[in-house]
Amino acid sequence: MRGGGEITTEASPPHENPARTIEKGVYPLSFEWAGRNWTGPSDFDNPKGHLFPPGSYILSVRIVGQMETADGRKPYDIAKSVAVELVH
């Protein structure tokens, strides 16, 4: 999420899963967010920063991987961004 000079990046670690078919549709999910500035884990134990102040932000979610096709594995990169209003 970013906006107004604030940024946070939270990513799940990469992991290897066998290829599978995902049916077209909408898949609701949720996640927890500490509400702090952060650019993600690092090799120098990057600390989390100050809280995001109330305001307008852009929340982006991105999924990157590979899919099995008749011609072998092909990469995919799916992203969606939405405007959010953060209130305290």
**How many residues appear in the chain?**
88
All structural domains of the chain with their residue ranges: 2-13+26-86
**DSSP element (H, E) containing 6:** strand 6-7
Nearest-angstrom CA–CA distance, 17 and 66: 10
Angle at Cα 66 formed by Cα 63 and Cα 69, nearest 5°? 135
Global pTM value: 0.66
Q: Which residue has the higher pLDDT, 81 or 14?
A: 81
Angle at Cα 36 formed by Cα 49 and Cα 10, nearest 5°? 105
**pLDDT tens for residues 5-32?**
877 776 665 666 666 677 888 888 887 8
Residue 83's pLDDT band (boundaries 50, 70, 90)? very high
**pLDDT tens for residues 32-75?**
888 888 877 777 778 888 898 999 999 888 888 888 889 998 99
